[in-house]
């Protein structure tokens, strides 16, 4: 397998009056061709910003200040806005969180999909309209010809998210980034959307990055999972490794807080004490140290680097010298 | 845990808004200008060596000079002194009108929005009416037709009682000008507050307050109205500026504050008669009025951005 | 649709009746005796004869109770009779139909000018929020907003006086295609332009932060298309609403502009009628002004569903 996307040392800052605040601090991530990567973390850990920064969609006051993101031999972070525009949609497709607000209310659905085709694939309007209907059928929308003429407010949340997926796929991208696409949906619909994306991924042979805060949701979808905490990757491993041998204290805490059917009824779920640091108030050294049950004074000295975990899958890496020492011992 | 202290965080919506407002240079400039003019309105008439009323026919229509910084008018009165006293009139009118209009508008709007029903429909119908008539026309008609009978009545009362208060023509002016301007201004506030109340009324925290058994009055004053404060403050700051401009418009049409009480409006309207020969008599009051109106607008815009940070991303 | 228009009209009728009742009452109780007013203004040779006055009063029906007079006024109105001017004795309808085209053309041109100038500039300012361009556009708009028409008019005339030869002052009315219309039109449009410009800017800033604009960018749509299609379209909905609502600003502004530039329109007619306490004219103008505002609000409501499909559905349900 070859690497489709390689992010190295990505840093993102928010410009504030008091000075810049760091939200993403030196992230390293790789997405292989045909792989699906899950990015897991609490809200505000920088998972969405990391992905938005790749295609130049960061909000106004937020900037990627260091690092590189190689995609198809080019550094996305160094591209001109015009070149980035051609990457968006045709090379990297996006699905966003809230389908209720992510569709333009005053443009018909078919036209919103066709737009991507017209500007990315150079199709004529009639061609694009036909293709839009095909795409609606592809994402499992019944009566696609009629739906193409519908306004966004006439569809349910699940249907709208399918439309979003159709739009994300319109340009036939190599990489589809799904930014918490199911958070705003009902649980039953969530599963349908997950199944749809998994199905489409194999049919269209693309890579998928699925951003979520819900570990359980992507267990069946991702090949590999990267756990983010306060703007850094703390653990990066194949999905089975994460669930069978969680190594970083934060990953473990996340897994412990998932309810299981096997557990004793009515027992309290363990939760992580404290709150993640705010941007600009990062503790020195390991950002998780203030909340970590294993923390030692040395943890605050330097930001730990990702390193392979001895004795497990070679792709399993963790950013915690303490657990690595223990694994060696 | 000590890393995540929360003590020195700027707490609360208002402090955040104040911080955002201070960042907006135009709004701060507006605030300073308004404070300056208020100061002049309060202490100005004591600062000036001239009285705004004293005429000196030897120095009529003089251009600005060292002794009369902004010149004199056709009766030899010092323009600067009149402008400074005009600031008093302007703020009296602006504050009087806005306070009256806000009081009527907020109470009717809040009650209408909160309780709904026939009262709501009546209030909305009434605001529709006042907002669907060319307002200027309405005010001018009211002023033009009521001034004479009221003056006559006051004169009659004076003859009866010899109480000098009935001789005060300024009083009539203010009552009429305040009254008619408030009459056309309150519906806007009523609608704004009603819309806010409607949007807040069914929010979960209000339902929760109701579930706790709080009375309507407490819910209205403690939960619903504070949420309407932001837009209301913005509307008031714009309304103050508008009231000043309106007063000058009425003076121009001859129904505002009557001379010799100086108002920027009647100074402009006097200046318009002679401006080809003595432009300073028009430019001075017009410029002052424009600067103050712009200041109110900048402040209003700044407040709007500060209190509704949505667009500030 | 027609039923809707008729219903709106029927809602408007009692409102305007109430306003007219108010104005009529002001005239009846406040303005003083119209007959005396006529005599006071008449050339000196007409003697002030109480008997004569009473005769005229009797003849004009001005000695009847208030409500009877108002009722007969409305009754005449329904038959298309607006009465006669107390001052000149001319038919009010003739006076108004002479003056209305001037104001109507001026107002229409002002709305068009406002839309053409304010929407693109507001759009530009909003897209470039907090840039120098934004500050220049917004600053100009706020300044224009703050200068009343009766000050802006004379000042602009001074500027022109310097440029133009004496004889060609843009004073008076020369029809729609005369150059004389330019200056009043500009002055009349200052406030509407400032208002719509700021509304457009605010709406653009709000829409820019919408998720669907990000979606459009994520699809790789060019920036110009994002601006025109994804931002401008949703912005137009509130802005067109405002365009209807500024009718009242224009009606108010026309009073001053017509006075300053000597245009023989409804505004000047209004001021003359006010000076003369000519209440039949004032009542007729109130009626027309209220009708204009109602009609423009109605037009906006009818246009709204065309701009916002969500409103179209809500209306279908109604």
- A110-124 confidence digits (pLDDT tens): 999 998 888 888 888
Q: Which of B137, B142, B275 sits opposite C270 (nearest CB)?
A: B137
Cβ contacts (< 8 Å) between A153 and chain C: which residues?
309-310, 313
Nearest CA-CA partner of A232 in A23, A1, A92? A23
Mean pLDDT (whole number) for A188-204: 86
Query: CATH number, domain at B92?
Result: 1.10.3720.10
Q: Is residue B21 part of a domain?
A: no
Q: What is the mean pLDDT of chain A?
A: 85
pLDDT of the residue at C117 = 92
Mean pLDDT (whole number) for A196-201: 87
A neighbour chains, 3+ CB pairs within 8 Å: B, C
Q: Which domain holds residue B120?
A: 33-48+70-311
Mean pLDDT (whole number) for C28-53: 61
Neighbours of B46 (CB within 10 A): 7
Alpha-helix runs per DSSP H in chain C: 2-25, 34-41, 50-60, 66-78, 92-127, 132-146, 149-163, 182-208, 211-218, 223-225, 232-245, 247-261, 266-275, 279-307, 309-317
* Spatial contact of A167 and A159, defined as CB atoms under 8 Å apart: no
Q: Is residue B24 part of a domain?
A: no
pLDDT of the residue at A207 = 92
Q: Is residue C153 part of a domain?
A: yes
Mean pLDDT (whole number) for B60-88: 69
Order of all β-strands in the sheet with A207-212: A92-95, A175-179, A207-212, A36-40, A224-229, A232-238, A317-318, A307-308
Structure-token pair, residue B145: 């037709």
pLDDT of the residue at B311 = 40
Q: What is the mean pLDDT of chain B?
A: 75
Q: Residue C269 and residue C285: Cα distance in Å, rounded?
A: 9
Distance from the first to the final alpha carbon of chain A: 33
Cα dist. B142→B175, C23, C73, C282 in Å?
Answer: 12, 8, 20, 12
Range of A46-50, B88-92, C141-145 with top mean pLDDT = A46-50
State the pLDDT confidence band at A272, using cuts at 50, 70 and 90.
confident
Structure-token pair, residue B78: 């010092």
Percent of chain A with pLDDT over 90: 9
State the pLDDT confidence band at A133, using cuts at 50, 70 and 90.
very high
Q: Which residue has the higher pLDDT, B3 or B53?
A: B53
Q: Is residue B9 part of a domain?
A: no
Tell me whether residues A281 and B4 touch, CB distance under 8 A.
Answer: yes
Q: Is residue C110 part of a domain?
A: yes
- Chain position carrying tokens 């649709």: C1
State the pLDDT confidence band at A241, using cuts at 50, 70 and 90.
confident
Q: Is residue C157 part of a domain?
A: yes
Tell me whether residues A170 and C219 touch, CB distance under 8 A.
Answer: yes
DSSP H or E segment with residue A241: helix A239-244
Q: Residue A17 and residue A200: Cα distance in Å, rounded?
A: 45
Kindly write down the DSSP assignment for every residue of C154-194, as one continuous string: HHHHHHHHHHS-GGG---S---TTSGGGHHHHHHHHHHHHH
pLDDT of B22 higher than 80 = no
pLDDT of the residue at A99 = 80
Number of structural domains (chain B) is: 1
Q: Domains along chain A?
A: 1-88+223-259+269-329 (3.40.50.300)
Number of structural domains (chain C) is: 1
Q: Residue A47 and residue A178: Cα distance in Å, rounded?
A: 11
Cα dist. C190→A120, B249, B259, C3, C187 in Å?
Answer: 43, 16, 29, 37, 5
pLDDT of C145 higher than 90 = no
Q: Is residue B82 part of a domain?
A: yes
Q: Could you tell me if A98 lies within 8 Å of chain C, comparing CB atoms?
A: yes
Q: What is the mean pLDDT of chain C?
A: 78
Q: Is residue C88 part of a domain?
A: no
Mean pLDDT (whole number) for C127-144: 85
State the pLDDT confidence band at B117, using cuts at 50, 70 and 90.
confident
Beta bridge partners of A66: A11
Query: CATH number, domain at C240?
Result: 1.10.3720.10
State the pLDDT confidence band at A263, using cuts at 50, 70 and 90.
low
pLDDT of the residue at B75 = 64
Express each pLDDT in C60-102 by its tens digit: 666 677 778 788 888 888 887 777 777 777 888 888 888 888 8
Q: Is B233 exposed, middle or buried (0-12, 13-18, 19+ CB in 10 A)?
A: middle
DSSP H or E segment with residue B229: helix B225-252
Q: Could you tell me if A19 lies within 8 Å of chain B, comparing CB atoms?
A: no
Nearest CA-CA partner of C100 in C268, C273, C277? C268
- Work out the angle between the directed axes of helices B135-161 and B225-252 (0-180°, nearest 10): 80
Order of all β-strands in the sheet with A62-71: A21-32, A3-14, A62-71, A74-75
Q: Could you tell me if A203 lies within 8 Å of chain B, comparing CB atoms?
A: no
Q: Residue C133 and residue C149: Cα distance in Å, rounded?
A: 26
Mean pLDDT (whole number) for A224-235: 90
pLDDT of the residue at C60 = 65
Please give the residue of chain B at the shortest CA–CA distance from A280: B4
Express each pLDDT in A37-84 by its tens digit: 999 988 778 888 888 898 888 887 888 888 888 888 888 888 888 888
Q: Which domain holds residue C244?
A: 99-261
pLDDT of the residue at B313 = 34
Q: Is residue B25 part of a domain?
A: no
Range of A132-136, B133-137, C27-31, C300-304 with top mean pLDDT = A132-136
């Amino acid at each position: 397998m070859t690497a489709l996307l390689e992010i190295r040392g990505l840093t993102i800052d928010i410009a504030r009056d008091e000075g810049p605040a760091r939200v993403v601090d030196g992230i390293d991530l790789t997405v292989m061709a045909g792989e699906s990567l899950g990015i897991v973390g609490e809200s505000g850990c920088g998972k969405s910003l990391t992905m938005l920064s790749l295609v130049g969609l960061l909000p106004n006051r937020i900037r990627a200040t260091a690092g590189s993101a190689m995609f198809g031999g080019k550094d996305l972070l160094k591209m001109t806005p015009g070149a980035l525009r051609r990457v968006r949609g045709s090379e990297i497709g996006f699905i966003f969180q809230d389908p209720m607000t992510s569709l333009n209310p005053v443009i018909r659905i078919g036209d919103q999909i066709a737009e991507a085709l017209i500007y990315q694939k150079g199709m004529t309007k009639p061609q694009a309209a036909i293709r839009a209907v095909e795409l609606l059928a592809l994402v499992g929308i019944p009566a696609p010809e009629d739906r193409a003429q519908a306004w966004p407010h006439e569809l349910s949340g699940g249907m709208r998210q399918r439309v979003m997926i159709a739009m994300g796929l319109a340009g036939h991208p190599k990489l589809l980034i799904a930014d918490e696409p199911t958070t705003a949906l009902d649980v039953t619909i969530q599963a349908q959307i997950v199944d749809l994306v998994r199905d489409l991924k194999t049919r269209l042979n693309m890579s998928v990055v699925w951003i979520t805060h819900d570990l359980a949701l992507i267990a069946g979808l991702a090949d590999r999972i990267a756990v983010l905490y306060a703007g850094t990757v703390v653990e990066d491993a194949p999905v089975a490794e994460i669930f069978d041998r969680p190594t970083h204290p934060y990953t473990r805490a996340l897994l412990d807080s998932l309810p299981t059917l096997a557990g004793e009824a009515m027992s309290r779920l363990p939760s992580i004490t404290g709150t993640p640091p705010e941007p600009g108030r990062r503790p020195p050294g390991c950002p998780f140290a203030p909340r970590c049950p294993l923390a030692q004074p040395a943890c605050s000295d330097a930001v730990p680097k990702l390193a392979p975990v001895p004795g497990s899958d070679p792709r399993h890496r963790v950013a915690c010298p303490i657990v690595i020492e223990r694994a060696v011992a | 845990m000590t890393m995540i202290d929360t003590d020195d965080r700027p707490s609360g919506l208002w402090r955040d808004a104040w911080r955002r407002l201070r960042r907006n240079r135009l709004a701060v400039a507006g605030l300073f200008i308004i404070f300056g003019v208020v100061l002049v309105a309060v202490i100005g008439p004591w600062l000036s060596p001239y009285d705004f009323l004293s005429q000196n026919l030897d120095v009529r229509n003089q251009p600005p000079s060292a002794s009369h910084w902004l010149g004199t008018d056709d009766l030899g009165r010092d323009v600067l002194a009149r402008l400074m006293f005009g600031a008093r009139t302007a703020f009296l009118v602006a504050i009087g009108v806005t306070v009256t209009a806000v009081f009527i508008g907020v109470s009717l709007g809040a009650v209408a929005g909160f309780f709904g029903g026939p009262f709501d429909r009546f209030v909305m119908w009434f605001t529709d009416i006042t907002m669907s008539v060319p307002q200027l026309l309405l005010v001018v008609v009211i002023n033009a037709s009521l001034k004479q009978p009221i003056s006559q009545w006051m004169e009659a009362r004076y003859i009866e009682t010899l109480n000098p208060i009935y001789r005060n023509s300024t009083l009539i002016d203010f009552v009429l000008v305040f009254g008619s301007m408030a009459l056309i201004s309150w519906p806007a506030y009523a609608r704004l507050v009603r819309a806010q109340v409607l949007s807040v009324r069914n929010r979960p925290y209000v339902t929760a307050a109701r579930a706790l058994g709080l009375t309507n009055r407490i819910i209205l004053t403690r939960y619903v109205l504070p949420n309407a404060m932001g837009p209301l403050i913005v509307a008031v700051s714009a309304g103050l500026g508008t009231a000043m401009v309106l007063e000058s418009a009425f003076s121009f049409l001859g129904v505002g504050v009557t001379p010799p009480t100086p108002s920027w409006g009647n100074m402009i309207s006097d200046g318009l008669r002679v401006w080809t020969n003595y432009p300073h008599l028009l430019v001075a009051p017009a410029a002052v009025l424009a600067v103050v109106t712009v200041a109110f607008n900048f402040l209003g815009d700044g407040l709007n951005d500060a209190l509704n940070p949505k667009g500030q991303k | 649709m027609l039923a809707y228009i008729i219903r709106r009209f029927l809602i408007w009728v009692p409102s305007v009746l109430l306003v007219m009742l108010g104005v009529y009452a002001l005239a009846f109780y406040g303005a003083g005796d119209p007959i005396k007013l006529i005599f006071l203004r008449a050339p000196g040779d007409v003697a002030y004869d109480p008997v004569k006055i009473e005769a005229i009063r009797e003849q004009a029906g001005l000695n009847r109770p208030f409500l009877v007079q108002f009722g007969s006024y409305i009754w005449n109105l329904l038959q298309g009779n607006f009465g006669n001017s107390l001052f000149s004795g001319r038919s009010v309808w003739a006076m108004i139909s002479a003056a209305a085209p001037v104001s109507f053309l001026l107002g229409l041109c002002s709305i068009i000018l406002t839309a053409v100038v304010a929407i693109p500039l507001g759009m530009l300012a909003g897209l470039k929020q907090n840039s120098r361009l934004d500050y220049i556009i917004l600053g100009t708009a706020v300044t224009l907003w703050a200068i009343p028409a009766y000050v802006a008019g004379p000042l602009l005339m001074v500027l022109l006086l310097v440029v133009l030869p004496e004889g060609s002052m843009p004073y008076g009315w020369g029809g729609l295609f005369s150059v004389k219309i330019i200056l009043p039109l500009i002055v009349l449009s200052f406030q509407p332009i400032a208002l719509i410009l700021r509304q457009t800017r605010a709406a653009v800033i709000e829409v820019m932060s919408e998720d669907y604009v990000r979606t459009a960018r994520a699809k790789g749509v060019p920036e110009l298309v994002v601006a025109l299609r994804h931002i401008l379209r949703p912005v137009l909905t509130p802005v067109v609403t405002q365009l209807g609502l500024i009718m009242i600003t224009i009606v108010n502004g026309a009073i001053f502009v017509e006075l300053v530039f000597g245009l023989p329109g409804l505004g000047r007619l209004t001021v003359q009628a006010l000076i003369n306490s000519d209440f039949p004219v004032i009542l007729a103008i109130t009626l027309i002004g209220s009708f204009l505002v109602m009609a423009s609000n109605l037009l906006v409501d009818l246009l709204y569903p065309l701009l916002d499909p969500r409103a179209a559905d809500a209306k279908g349900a109604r």
